[in-house]
Structure 1
Amino acid sequence: MRRILALAFLLACTAAGQARDAMAGMAMGHEAPLGFDAALDDAGHLWVVDSVGEHVRVRRSDDMGRTFALSTIVNPTGEPVYAEGENRPKVALGPAGELYVTWSQPRKLPWTGFVRFSRSLDGGAHFDPPKTVHTDTAEITHRFDSLAVDAQGNVIVAWIDKRDLVAATAKKAPYLGAATYYSWSTNRGATFAPERKIVDQSCECCRIALARTPDGRVDAFFRAIYGDNIRDHAFATLPTDGGAPNVKRATFTRWHIEGCPHHGPSLAIDGRGTRHAVWFSAADGKPTIWYGQLAPGADPKHLVAVAGNGASHADVAVSGAHVWIAWHQMTANGLDLTLRESTDGGEHFSEPRAIAHADGPSGWPKLVVWKDRAFVAWNPDGRFRLVPTEAL
């Protein structure tokens, strides 16, 4: 029975996510989508990106999210924008104050899209006209974009892409899921290199986690497909010199599901190079958020079952030996924003505690760190909050 209930829950999540995707770009009244992203710069300015109708919006707060001193529309000429769940606008900060924004733009056919990019070189007052990152312009899936900046200031964009599925289908060859692709810019987003494939047969609708390594590169952690629809995770470093990514399997929960659970992972890398990761699996009918330290090609180390039934969409952050994990926990009374933390580098974790509550839905939580303090960006019912993680 537990297996049946877990599968029913996951199928409902998948169907709901697909329904949201199908409706993206359609009129939604005055209700703002809940998808957002956030980042804190070195001066403590909070940057939030979300969408208003057919416009991507960037806001800056100088008081930790209580008020916003700046609000700029990135694309004055409106266009459809995916802005829910795993597929939402992203923001990243450059080393000289640059602001970079990506989003996925729905096309006419269901579940299709282009990955769009814009930049601001003047502190968010103005943004360049948006451009499509990839050279392939077929009306297929290029969606679920992720964005990062490496230590050299290179901009990296990764996304889910179905061009190889289309090619295989035309040849009547088997192909599960989609592929993951990426591109990069070495000139602050003025131009992008022709896209490169990371790997074939990855999950269709789970977000890609990107994180910077101590030596300044960007690593990717994402749900891939192994064998007959085993939906575990892969790991790769994304070169910006034309080299090929070295992709290795990173989790081994052996969850078999013939569909995408809309439940991507998160990755944070500390100064020693330890790869702290969280991911979701419902193998053996047991929905679980897992924490582990990735050892690509082998089982993760220090595995911890962070949360079980009703838990979803975890994020992880690290500063020194302090590790934070935040997630959504469904309860009989609504939605709890829940936290566990470690002060010894992930060896041991505190018991779960709720740090905020909402009666209605929210965009997925996003952990941000400033001066060794962690906060959770959250927007229950579209009312943005920056929630401290310190116990009161």
Structure 2
Amino acid sequence: MKISHPSQCDFLCKVLLFALLNIGASGNLWAQMDHLSHSGLSVSKKPKNVCIGNGLDCANAATPFLGNDGKLFLTWTAGGVVSFAQSNDLGKTFNSAVKIAEHGKSLDAGSDARPQIVADSSGNIFLAYAFFKDSNWNAQINTSRSNDGGNTFSVPVSLIEDGSSQRFPSILIRPDGSIFAAWIDKRLVASAKQSGAKKLGASIAYSFSGDHGRTFQIERIANENSCECCRIGTALDVTSNPIMIYRAIFPGGIRDHATQIISSKGAEPIRRVSDDQWKTDACPHHGPAIAVSQSGKIHAAWFTQGETRSGVFYANSSNQGRSYGKPTRIGADGANISRPYILALENTVYLVWKEFNGKSSTVHLKKSMDDGGTWSPPQAVFETSGYSDHPLLISQGNVVYLSWLTRDDGYQFIKIGSP
């Protein structure tokens, strides 16, 4: 069966392609696929995989941010709507939701797409999300701001002026309050097409804002050759420089992961995380995760189906990514593993992932107290049936929380430890 490049696929082609990739990786399609709804504010029972509405109880993805005052900010997408709410009791209850934007079926709500949120200590909140402009999966990233702690938000506007496709924003806020944004950008693909050439994939672009997201600097391209449909993992290094991990396209069409630091001088050299040798022109829809510990060590987790290795893996680097240690498998060999996420607090590293047993999904956790040298045995944190979002980790002070949105059991915000 021959499938054309994903940028020319219609919806059915993308679904079939995604299914073929993930069946090979997991042995069970549903271990990797995302369903379409879950429960949140309400725990009322609904027919499985059916949810109508734009509330948290029907969301497909939710992204948290913890303010310095202990407030939990949450943004989610559901029913074609981007919404925001805040909680004063760490997710037990939320105030009334604020509708940020409504795009209907054109909202980018795919398996690796989620709204982004950051906030500063002065009550400024910044949101970003993407929506499709046409039927060819060309998207636009919109941003919205609040300067009153989330009571009201500005009318969404485009992040940049370029008219090509931009998707999968990843947002960080630095200690000085400046905002870093990175995304998948297709301007070089569009330019090549106009000249009659063919260019696979997309590029990694980035920009900074020094005024709470009102304006951004002229965007730059960090890597001209990247996967077009996988989220970008981002973190700050010990000097508050952003560092990205993403699925790059290396010579020969190899889609392996790379890290890249963005310093005051611009994008530093591209560093290959591992030589997985995954040759494909397809869209995995399964992006990586990254964290940087107090020592400066970079910790990375990713999914691959390469000739060298296949599954979900972890590795770290002690020299700013110039070299990485031998990848180690996450979870048991042969288990249905997906969606790793990683967080470093001082020199303690937390790693979570989803595991599907054919009936239910469980978030598993393991922890390293010595900066990735040794790890605790995996432990199950929470189990649910039906739909669930990717597990996310977030910290405040020295406390780490798991953020996990599920259909049957509601939105979970669980304390999982501290150094």
Smaller-chain TM-score range?
0.7 to 0.9
2-structure distance, mates of 1:243, 1:65: 38
Q: Which residue of 2 aligns with 1:260?
A: 283
Q: Equivalent of 1:250, from 245, 248, 273?
A: 273
Is the 1:56–1:73 contact (alpha carbons within 8 Å) kept by the matching residues of 2? yes
Distance 1:87 1:7, change over 3 A: closer
1:365 aligns to 2:388 (yes or no)? no
Aligned residue among 233, 236, 256 for 1:209? 233
Alignment of 1:387 with 2:414, yes or no, is yes
Cα gap change, 1:95/1:268 in structure 2, threshold over 3 Å: closer, same or farther?
A: farther
Aligned to 2:248: 224
Alignment partner, residue 160 of structure 1: 184
Q: Distance in 2 between matches of 1:384 and 1:84?
A: 19
How far off its partner does 1:357 sit? 0.7
Pairing 1:198–2:225 present: no
Contact 2:276–2:308 (8 Å) recurs in 1: no
Match of 2:91 in 1: 65
Structure 1's 19 and 260: CA in aligned 2 closer, same or farther, altered over 3 A? farther
Q: Hey, what does 1:56 align to over in structure 2?
A: 82
More displaced, 379-388 or 76-85?
76-85
> Which residue number in structure 1 is paired with residue 295 of structure 2?
272
Distance 2:327 2:309 in 1: 16
CA contact (8 A) 2:275 2:308 kept: no
Which 4+ stretches in 1 moved above 6 angstroms? 11-14, 16-20, 76-79
Contact 2:113 2:168 in 1 (8 A): yes
Note the residue ranges of structure 2 that are not aligned, 5 or more in a row: 1-19, 37-50
CA contact (8 A) 1:221 1:266 kept: yes
Note the 1:342-381 alignment, pairs <5 A.
Answer: 342-381=368-407
SS for the counterpart of 2:283 is coil
Asked if structure 1 preserves the Cα contact closer than 8 Å seen for 2:298 and 2:321, the reply is no
Give 3-state SS (helix, strand or coil) of 2:260's partner.
strand
Stretches of structure 1 lacking an aligned partner (at least 5 in a row) = 21-27
- Asked whether the 8 Å contact 1:33–1:83 carries over to 2, the reply is no
1:374 Cα deviation from its structure 2 partner = 1.6
Match among 308, 311, 318 for residue 344 of structure 2: 318
Residue 117 in structure 1 maps to residue 143 in structure 2: yes
Query: Residues 269 and 97 (structure 1 numbering): CA distance in 2 closer, same or farther, change over 3 Å?
Result: farther
- Matched length: 377
Q: Can you list the C-alpha shifts for 1:309-367, whole angstroms capped at 9, x where unaligned?
A: 31001100111121111111011331111111111111111222211111112111110
Greater relative contact order, per chain length (Cα 8 Å cut-off, separation 6+): 2
Conserved in 1, the CA contact under 8 Å of 2:207 and 2:219?
yes
CA distance in 2 between partners of 1:7 and 1:52 (Å): 25
Take 2:306 and 2:377, find their aligned partners in 1: how far apart are those partners? 23
Question: In the alignment, what sits opposite 1:306?
Answer: 330
For 2:326 and 2:87, how far apart are their aligned partners in 1? 37
Is 1:130 aligned with 2:156?
Answer: yes
User: Which among 292, 300, 315 is matched to residue 292 of structure 1?
Assistant: 315
Secondary structure at 2:191 match in 1: helix
- TM-superposed CA distance for 1:296, in Å, is 5.5
| 1:216 to partner: Cα distance | 1.6
Matched residue type, 1:69: N
- Matching residue of 1:146: 170
Paired residue secondary structure (1:36): strand
The residue matched to 2:61 in structure 1 has which SS? coil
* Matched residue type, 1:332: G
Q: 1:113 to 1:44 in 2, by over 3 A?
A: same
Deviation sequence 1:253-305 (CA, Å, 0-9, x none) = 22223312111111111222111111112223853221111346644136422
The answer as to whether partners of 1:135 and 1:195 remain within 8 angstroms in 2 is: no
- Equivalent position SS for 1:258: coil
Tell me whether 299-308 or 54-63 shows the greater mean CA deviation: 299-308
